Structure 1
């Protein structure tokens, strides 16, 4: 399948942004004690540092759906394409619970497992391996139903018995399941994110159009999504569990307006983030310049980049705490812990930005090498999974 540059450019952009969030989470002085979106304690720059990274997961999931559609259309054997979606979905879930979870926690005992974005993309691929047998219209209808209607699921009480509660949480909402040996956190429930993936899958048809025409359509869709978001949010009509309110200053009132629920993604969160992504996608169509070529390097090797950056950022965290005078005995591992000492540690926000930029630049030659390796070794089927 011939890669479409605009998809990889947008994917590369949000992956660059993603490193900022994980760097802040691992290294920032206040990341262990303060939520950056808590309007009672945050600052505008700290809020923005977290808020801008909200673009990442919706972009990953939406574009994963788009790429799945393109992959199925490119191959003559649709059955083989669906089998690949199934096996890649299972592989992504396995990678989440091994390489990704260890990269986030560095806990060799795996006392804390998180069902996050990689696992929910994997689950989405599994569903797509079956749903892709349906007509485009039916898939688009299911996407619309999940996308616009999943906020209503919050009105339905969850079962109280353990197994039904776990299954319903896995599909519908955020949930924590503590245990004697490990704690399981469902951060990315399947159905709300499946709605975003199916929207991306349905949008795959637009890539059969000429770049100029699909650029105009993406722009209109993006502006339409932002317009619908603005109306629903302004009147607090529907689409997010927390209404915006007047705050201590006009700026913080604006922050309240854009402070949306990600876990699970509310309708307003999805409309705002996907609206921005569609506009960026429109702007990326047909562009070939130093910036797009830079972003392409990251966007062509998304999972490889995702894994490597986590390990590098976490190793830098350990270097930081040791340089600040802590010892191995001070490190804390286990549920909701990633090794940071319980005493004061970390760097200021300007240092987080400096480390973020350094990490992105450090990863550039590594990703460029791996991208070339993949392109030159297409006979190695396992590379399709990484």
Structure 2
């Protein structure tokens, strides 16, 4: 079988893993808009959170790095059907498209503000910019791209404590590319940019994923690939445990012993996502690799269920945000709020006044309803993509 023919087939372990994280991701977004204390408290603040709320947020930490890593891996697979020049052009164009989607489509879904007073630079932005950077680098040797990814992941925490003059061009660029923990940049008095995902640490994750794509070549048998993934996963997890125990380098938030064993474990696991620390990447990507290994030949209804969502991640991502926000409007009026309460002062999100939403149990029920509601639309679009070859489908 020609190599190109093989790589056109979807790899089920990738779709299963991507499907799992897409569903978990929706839990976090439902919590953000429907949990009664979402706007007023941080679920990872050990002084105010509960174990259930903490782990509801913590488990979703696995989503973004896995999503970015798999985007890099998929970029490698896309390159097996293209020349380096074609792959470079495709990645740059798709990256620019994703940046546009983040600013125009996702920001609108987040805020429901048609005047765009706020723009949020989140995971789609990070993937888009990372794709542009990868598109510029694909002509380099694969090992060099992988080494660059490792260097960024391991080394960027050295810059955590660098501070520049607040709001200076250098400060904004530093936050945009390396250090932002949720920085606000004012475009004018009424328009802001929320820099949640600093670009380069996420680009490092994508570069690493691109390098890992090489193990899906035909010369790697499933047993050999499973062994390699398991070995790498184990090394990464051991490195996470060692670094976290040492508690000197690898994360902006050191852990501490608490009065409760549960809260001590929570502190140990409470690694930093913004920007993604070395410890955070080791913990989350080690899990991603072992799931890829274990689902290489998975069968059954559950695997098929996850594959439906994982085969159309972009479609699902956009749809789930707009479904969540449509339901937030419905719940807003059902809970007795009126039009004068649509806007909350100093909050960029419309239709989420103080006290809005449900308990954590209600969040879980609504999350299940949302992901099940999107099952058949995703299944339809997945089948459509498999049976059609229009050029624009590669951008969705």
State TM-score, norm by structure 1.
Answer: 0.97
Aligned to 2:235: 224
- 1:343 shift after superposition: 3.4
CA contact (8 A) 1:34 1:41 kept: yes
* Mapped partners of 1:270, 1:335: distance in 2: 33
SS at 2:251 equivalent: coil
User: Retained in 1: the 8 A contact 2:25–2:63?
Assistant: yes
Question: Where does residue 148 of structure 2 map in the other structure?
Answer: 142
Q: Give me the whole-angstrom Cα distance separating, in 2, the residues matched to 1:207 and 1:334.
A: 51
Deviations 1:286-309 (A, max 9, x none): 112111111111001111100000
Q: Relative to 1, partners in 2 of residues 1:353 and 1:123: Cα closer, same or farther, differing over 3 Å?
A: same
Structure 2 residue 55 is the aligned partner of structure 1 residue 48: yes
* C-alpha deviation, 1:164, in angstroms: 2.5
Alpha-carbon separation, structure 1, partners of 2:167 and 2:381: 47
Residue in 2 that maps onto 1:180: 189
> Which structure 2 residues correspond to residues 1-386 of structure 1 after superposition, within 5 A?
1-75=8-82, 77-160=83-166, 162-174=168-180, 175-178=183-186, 179-208=188-217, 209-332=220-343, 336-378=347-389, 380-386=390-396
Report the CA distance shift for 1:341/1:170 in structure 2 as closer, same or farther (over 3 A): closer
Instruction: Name the CA distance, whole Å, in 2 between partners of 1:200 and 1:368.
Output: 26
SS class of match (2:140): coil
Give the secondary-structure state (helix, strand or coil) at the position aligned to 1:288: coil
* Inter-CA distance 191–343: structure 2 relative to 1 (3 Å threshold): closer
Q: What is the RMSD computed on CA atoms of the aligned residues?
A: 1.3
Asked if structure 1 preserves the Cα contact closer than 8 Å seen for 2:84 and 2:138, the reply is no
On the 8 A contact 1:112/1:336 being kept in 2, the answer is no
Are 1:107 and 1:333, in contact at CA under 8 Å, matched by a contact in 2? no
SS of residue in 2 equivalent to 1:150: helix
Contact 1:105 1:333 in 2 (8 A): no
1:150-170 Cα distance to aligned partner (Å, 9 max, x none):
100113333546323222221
Cα distance change, pair 95–249 in 1 and its aligned pair in 2 (3 A): same
Tell me how far 1:246 sits from its aligned partner. 1.2
Partners of 2:84 and 2:345 lie apart in 1 by 44
SS in 2 for 1:263: coil
| Cα distance, 1:315 vs structure 2 | 1.1
Q: Which 10-residue stretch deviates more, 206-215 or 263-272?
A: 206-215
| CA drift at 1:333 | 6.0
Query: Number of residue pairs matched?
Result: 384
Query: What's the CA shift for 1:216?
Result: 1.6
Is 1:106–1:333's contact at 8 Å kept on the other side of the alignment?
no
The two structures have a TM-score, normalised by structure 2, of 0.94
Q: Which runs of 5+ in 2 are unaligned?
A: 1-7
CA contact (8 A) 1:111 1:181 kept: yes
